[in-house]
Amino acid sequence: MRRRIFAANWKMHLGPAGARGFLETFLPTYAPRDGREVWFFAPAVSVRTVADVIRGHPTLRAGVQNVYWEPQGAYTGETSVAMAAEVGASTALVGHSERRHVFGETDDQTGRKVRAVLAGGLVPVLCVGETLVERERGDTHAIVRRQVDVLSGLPREQLDRVVVAYEPVWAIGTGRNATPEDAAEVHAAIRGHLRLVGAAADRVPVLYGGSVKPGNAAELMAQSEIDGVLVGGASLDPVSWRAILDAVRD
């Protein structure tokens, strides 16, 4: 059985004080469930705070939203994998749509980051997904296959540690989201692409991200191909975040 992962991506919100306040509200009512993990992708300045506050909760993880592939050097503003690990991160987002479309990150750069995260002992969450123009052209499958192909050449033991998140770009922060059936269909295609690069696709968690809310989380997670969610705006408030967790009855 694949892990069920509920991942909060706080983007450029919740500095250290805000992150601590969020968790101090969330933790007293948090009840762990078998087979379920909750991950918090905090801004780099808040990762240590998150890691410190959740220490002792084995089903909770702290993560970073981005890393650079070099171990050190003259790369102003970047964070290495070793630095992320030192402050308590055990996972890292790679290739989020905002990194690709706002900051111009390429597939080659995404591939380098995946390899750096794996080499540093962290779990990469590889984000893939198409824009509205690409979707309307019928290119969804070609786009996600190209983005999954950055995993080609990795040994099986590393592929088994990867998590994939399908986030249709047109559904992020827009209030629109793919129907559960549409999302499940793309998730199934992603598993096919994972098999082509040599992964044990039936063991790789594939998450859905794109305007996930308390009102649609259960319907999405009812699809057998969807193993979890990557949530942006609705994860910034501990009440709505808890509502998403409570909406899904495993």
Beta carbons within 8 Å of 138's beta carbon, 6+ residues apart: none
Let me know: does 80 contact 122? Beta carbons within 8 Å. no
Can you tell me the distance from the alpha carbon of 73 to that of 69, in angstroms, rounded to the nearest whole number? 11
Domain 4-247: give its CATH architecture: Alpha-Beta Barrel (3.20)
Which pLDDT does position 175 carry in this prediction? Answer: 66
Let me know: does 190 contact 144? Beta carbons within 8 Å. yes
Can you tell me the distance from the alpha carbon of 179 to that of 2, in angstroms, rounded to the nearest whole number? 22
Question: What is the distance between the terminal CA atoms of the chain, rounded to a whole angstrom?
Answer: 12
Can you tell me the distance from the alpha carbon of 105 to that of 100, in angstroms, rounded to the nearest whole number? 4
Burial of 90 (0-12, 13-18, 19+ CB in 10 A): middle
Which pLDDT does position 177 carry in this prediction? Answer: 66
Does the pTM exceed 0.85?
yes
pLDDT in tens, the chain (250 residues): 689 999 999 999 999 999 999 999 999 999 999 999 999 999 999 999 999 999 999 999 999 999 999 999 999 999 999 999 999 999 999 999 999 999 999 999 999 999 999 999 999 999 999 998 898 899 999 999 999 999 999 999 999 999 999 999 887 766 666 889 999 999 999 999 999 999 988 899 999 998 899 999 999 999 999 999 999 999 999 999 999 999 998 7
For helices 16-26 and 47-54, what crossing angle results, to 10°?
A: 30
Can you tell me the distance from the alpha carbon of 145 to that of 129, in angstroms, rounded to the nearest whole number? 10
Domain limits of the chain?
A: 4-247
Let me know: does 26 contact 14? Beta carbons within 8 Å. no
Largest CA distance in the chain: 48
Beta carbons within 8 Å of 75's beta carbon, 6+ residues apart: 68
Query: Which residues are marked as active site?
Result: 96, 167
Can you tell me the distance from the alpha carbon of 168 to that of 174, in angstroms, rounded to the nearest whole number? 11
Q: What tokens were used for 223?
A: 């699809």
The single residue listed with the structure tokens 């780099």 is 44
Let me know: does 134 contact 140? Beta carbons within 8 Å. yes
CA-CA-CA-CA dihedral for 101, 235, 150, 51, to nearest 10: 120
